[in-house]
Copies of this chain bind each other. A is one copy, B any other.
Amino acid sequence: MSKTTKLKVGVVGASGYTGEELVRLLARHPEVELAAAVSRSLAGTPLAKAFPHCRETLPAELVFSGADPVALAKEDIAFWFLALPHGVAAEYARAFVAAGRRVIDLSADFRLGSAALYKEYYGAEHPAPELLAAAPYVLPELADFAAWRDAPLIACPGCYPTSIQVALTPLLRAGLLGKPALGALVINSYSGVSGAGKKADVAYLYCERDGSAKPYGIPRHRHLSEIEEQLSLAAGAPVVVQFSPHLAPMKRGILTTITAPAAGVTAERVREVWSGTYAGRPFVSVLPAGLFPETGHVAWTNRADIAAVADPRTGNLVLTSAIDNLLKGAGGQAVQIMNLAAGFAETAGLV
């Protein structure tokens, strides 16, 4: 395919870790042309200077654009990726959608179905409630309606929620876990430090995090709103979980361990249901009995690995999953969404 026929894409918020990952993926994607990268702080800087680790694939002439939604909306860009803080993303989404551009938003702005829930967890009025209904939440392997592929605005799931839903959603949909009691689903996640973003903060210095693991955000991390909303939809009833995130001394990766009352369901049955859901899908791997996921096995990939164990002593299932938080948990999943929405191979630019 000649370069002139490639689909033009752009990234807003390109200076953070997620933005950087999107730039890296899109610059080497065989079907698209990275035509714009927007960053307030880096406007005017050549991308190749800011991102030395993918220098050989970046268009030599490309410099960061300034952050002006109205001006950007006029550019001939087919897909915009928003890697922005919540609250800020909505402003760009509104301008781009109004101009007929398609938007894949990696912020929390359009992940929740309700503006009220948004306000409860994010502490502010929803910045664009009029767009909520038209913005499907898409975890590609779990989206249960084909029409999302034509939506102008798509909400890309959060990193923790992705690691949790790939394990739980098929089981809840199949009714395997019944209606879990309040707090009976216990979810412990363990995230790499890149999840905290690229901000100059003593708490994320090398010397503070090297060799040190810690819990944080217990008992009410913001992602809880998204996790519970999605799991409730899958279960067809309200699901309230215990979610305990932790920071791990590693750069990339999320490892999630879920304890769920099994009500007699075997690990084999869990793997059957998972295998049904993920048949033919390249980016979720159901591990055979005896194997566990490791973040090192999914780092630098867009894959989720999932495993199930049943404990006859307790009557619980223990489900584990691993993803790369910057890929399947953010930029990779966003590109996967674009691939499907644009009719490319699902794996294009992702393997």
Contact = CB atoms under 8 A, between A and B. Distances in A.
B244 A318 contact: yes
A214 B183 contact: no
Interface residues of A, number: 81
Interface in A188-239: 188, 190, 192-194, 198-202, 204-216, 218-220
A301 B219 contact: no
How many copies of this chain?
4
A238 to B, nearest CB: 11
A192 to B, nearest CB: 8
Contacts of A252: 211
Contact of A205 (B54, B205, B282): B205
A285 B198 contact: no
Nearest to A318: B218
A270 interface: no
Most buried by B among A182, A183, A296: A296
Given A205-B206, A218-B320, A249-B250, A57 B294 contact: no
Give the 6 A-B residue pairs with the shortest CB-CB distance, closest first. A212-B296, A183-B314, A219-B311, A214-B294, A52-B297, A206-B209
Interface of A: 17, 28, 52-57, 182-183, 186, 188, 190, 192-194, 198-202, 204-216, 218-220, 240-242, 244, 246, 248-253, 255, 257, 259, 261, 282-283, 285, 291-303, 305, 309-311, 313-316, 318, 320, 322, 347, 351
